[in-house]
Amino acid sequence: MLDPIAFSIGPLSIHWYGISYGVGLILGIWILTLLNKKRLTFKDNNQIFDFAFWIFLIGVIVGGRLGYVLFYNLPYFIQNPAKIFAVWDGGMSFHGGLILSIIVAYLFCRRQKISFLSVADIAVIPGALALVFTRLANFVNRELVGRVIESPKWEWLGVDFGDGLLRFPSQLFQSFNALLLFLILLLIFRRKPKKGVLLFSYLALYGLLRFVAEFWRAPDSQIGFIWTYFTLGQILSFLMLVAGVVGLAAMRR
């Protein structure tokens, strides 16, 4: 497997995880500019850059960290509050980043007097693609590992993440799901749907794909299984699925 550190410049180490965020941000801005030409939503590219900056800094970084603190390990961080800021130790939550990104996007659109649903519809497309790279980085970092393979017929899929056990590469499954989601959203975009369809489709499809993929991912050690079979990620993703389906149903009515 690759070393989590891509390269070093003197004492400074550049990690694949950080590179994945940078690639996702750059590609995201580029795709937004292309989509904006097809469906004019932002006034100009400067507005796109401003939007991407606040979503990345506050929504993704701050929201992802706060989500991890609140959802996954709150007792630990209550006892060690200084560790909340130690993002270099790992610990980011997709669902926390999504929630705060939606809030930031709403406030941005309200201030700029542009349609929130129109912005959200095109923003979720590059957002799905960015997940392809972060999940690959999770694989390189040997984090969010899969469950131990118990059946010999699946051992060819197994990866040893350092504990001597063959596990499913659940990060790669989720990376593939993100690519699939990106392509589906592009197809929906080409059909020129109503405002909000892409946003709610994203919520429903991501929730469904993540819920299924989590059956191959090991639960977080500090939480374990919920109701015997489910991970916390599955519970949060199921809520996304419900929100997406309710939103699409409401739009049809």
User: What does 187-247 look like in DSSP terms, one character per residue?
Assistant: HHHHT-PPTTHHHHHHHHHHHHHHHHHGGGBPPPTTT--BTTTB-HHHHHHHHHHHHHHHH
Rg (CA), the chain: 19
Round to whole Å and give the CA distance between 4 and 137.
8
Residue 16 included in any domain: yes
Instruction: Give the residue from 96, 94, 98, 175 showing the smallest Cα distance to 139.
Output: 175
- The residue range of the domain holding 162 is 5-142+158-192
Q: Are 206 and 242 in contact (CB under 8 A)?
A: no
Residue 197 included in any domain: no
Question: What is the pLDDT at residue 252?
Answer: 84
Residue 19 included in any domain: yes
C-alpha distances in Å from residue 44, one per residue of 25, 50, 83, 227, 245? 18, 10, 39, 49, 32
Q: Domain count of the chain?
A: 1
Residue 44 included in any domain: yes
Which distant-in-sequence residues (6+ apart) come within 8 Å of 182 by Cβ?
125, 128, 129, 132
Question: What is the pLDDT at residue 130?
Answer: 97
Question: What is the pLDDT at residue 10?
Answer: 84
Round to whole Å and give the CA distance between 215 and 52.
33
Q: What are 230's strand-pairing partners?
A: 226
Residue 54 included in any domain: yes
Residue 178 included in any domain: yes
Q: What are 14's strand-pairing partners?
A: 7
| Local structure of 9: helix, strand or coil | strand
Residue 229 included in any domain: no
Question: What is the pLDDT at residue 207?
Answer: 98
pTM: 0.95
Question: What is the pLDDT at residue 118?
Answer: 97
| Local structure of 151: helix, strand or coil | coil
Tens of pLDDT along the chain (253 residues) come to 788 889 888 888 898 989 999 999 999 999 999 999 999 999 999 999 999 999 999 999 999 999 999 999 999 999 999 999 887 777 899 999 999 999 999 999 999 999 999 999 999 999 999 999 999 999 999 999 999 999 999 999 999 999 999 999 999 999 999 999 999 999 999 999 999 999 999 999 999 999 999 999 999 989 999 999 999 999 999 999 999 999 999 988 7
Residue 247 included in any domain: no
